[in-house]
Structure 1
């Protein structure tokens, strides 16, 4: 019922190189305080089952937001690239949400959205 973003990304050598092992990829609100940089968080923005009139849905669609945080813009972009390369073979990146720098932590952020179709 949920997209396998961790499983897909954790199995990718490029993501492991960028985000360590175990991969620092966390659901919303679960990144540990003081986690090493770079790291990534993701959340479900919405979605829906692919409904039919005469049977139960056989697939669910999810829209995710993925946010990469790092101490430099270069590291944030490199980690985002590795995630992109791991995700694109199995899901669709639908939006680049931009880049910014947090005023308080001074961490850099790269954000993008993913549409993921998950068979039941």
Structure 2
């Protein structure tokens, strides 16, 4: 039912080179375990809607937030570029939503919003 964020990221050698592959450090619901290795990626689905037709919805549109996290200011740029390229293969980038450093954790973050259309 949900958009294929993890499969898109896991299919990218550039992404896996940065976040590992056994398992890849990609976490749903917008949060990661407290002591996770860095860098990593989080994603969530803050919204969406059914594509209305004359009979019944034939697809769902999901608005997905994907955040890249790193303790290194140069590495975050590389990770964000790789993540963007990977996720755009199955979605449309609609917004850049973050380029900041978290006050508490001191981790760098770059975030994106993508739209996925998933046929029913």
- TM-score, with normalisation over the residues of structure 1? 0.92
Counterpart in 2 of 1:108?
Answer: 108
What SS does the aligned partner of 2:37 have?
coil
**Deviating runs (4+, > 6 A) in structure 1?**
none
Alpha-carbon distance, 1:29 to partner: 5.1
**Residues 1-51 of structure 1, C-alpha deviations (whole Å, 9 max, x = no match):** 210100111111111112111211110255222000001111112111111
User: How many residues are paired up?
Assistant: 119
Equivalence map 1:88-99=2 (5 Å): 88-99=88-99
Decide whether the 8 Å contact of 1:18 with 1:82 is kept in 2. no
Unpaired segments ≥5 residues, structure 2: none
Counterpart in 1 of 2:62?
Answer: 62
- RMSD (CA atoms): 1.2
- TM-score, with normalisation over the residues of structure 2? 0.92
**Residues 45-98 of structure 1, C-alpha deviations (whole Å, 9 max, x = no match):** 2111111122x2221100011111101121111111111111112110110113
Decide whether the 8 Å contact of 2:19 with 2:40 is kept in 1. yes
- CA distance, structure 2, for counterparts of residue 3 and residue 29 of structure 1: 14
What SS does the aligned partner of 2:53 have?
coil
For the pair 1:24 / 2:25, whether they are aligned, the reply is yes
Decide whether the 8 Å contact of 2:30 with 2:43 is kept in 1. no
Counterpart in 1 of 2:49?
Answer: 48
Counterpart in 1 of 2:9?
Answer: 9
